[in-house]
A and B are shown apart, each in its own frame.
Chain A
């Protein structure tokens, strides 16, 4: 097994998720680190956001992560060999008002990692763009659209449900355009 200092973001995420799984804690990776994985590291996130599938007592989380050298500081978990911090944002796994159910499993030498699908990753980023006008989140959504097969019709349907159809139409070309450029 590699040392934590030598692990890629994906390997580290899988290492943590597998450790938690051994303790009966099922987690799904969400947030910016999914963009890192789907964009082949064109964007690098400094944290790993895991959402628990079922509520876990904090002390159980603390105990499981202590087993691989992570210690809690405020609301985050840190390891002396990496600058990447681990966070457990409150559930449920959702983009705006909808639950995210399309879970992908990636295999690494360090273990298995469950993460939200590329299409859901774009919804997650667009939620931040739509509600907070965060252009960095839009740029991340475009990176994922460039790199992965995504379901634009599904993203459009979700945007309508969020009351953001007009906003989606304004940025649709960026998602489609980049993809068409790639082909």
Chain B
């Protein structure tokens, strides 16, 4: 949907994932879209170098979020919000509806 503007489908996917989930790591994003890891990593690197995303290490996993210091963040999120509203309802739900509350280690399903 935003691919013509962003120049890449993977760039749209990465931004939309971070918008929907607030954070994400490369393998998680690639798995969600059932795509290769390398192009996702490449987009995350590019967006971090451009100051749009920021990352931190949690153990051995690098987790990406929007960079709160990016001057056009509010406008970017506005654009992503509108684009997301045009996504099929099931894809919107998949992006937004994710368990956030803690789950004790070892707890049976």
A: which residues have CB within 8 A of B?
75, 89-90, 92, 94-99, 127-128, 131-132
Chain B residue at minimal CB-CB distance from A75? B49
Docked complex Cα distance between A132 and B73 (Å): 15
A94 touches B49 (CB 8 A): no
Task: Kindly state whether residue B74 has any CB partner on chain A within 8 Å.
Answer: yes
Docked complex Cα distance between A94 and B69 (Å): 8
A96 touches B69 (CB 8 A): yes
Task: Kindly state whether residue B71 has any CB partner on chain A within 8 Å.
Answer: yes
How many residues of B are in contact with the other chain, CB < 8 A? 8
B4 to chain A, nearest CB (A): 21
The residues of B that contact A99 with a CB separation of less than 8 Å are: 71
Docked complex Cα distance between A38 and B14 (Å): 39
Docked complex Cα distance between A127 and B73 (Å): 14
The residues of B that contact A96 with a CB separation of less than 8 Å are: 68-69, 71
The residues of B that contact A94 with a CB separation of less than 8 Å are: 69, 71
Chain A residue at minimal CB-CB distance from B56? A132
Docked complex Cα distance between A75 and B46 (Å): 12
Give chain B interface residues in 30-78, CB to chain A under 8 Å. 49-51, 68-69, 71, 73-74
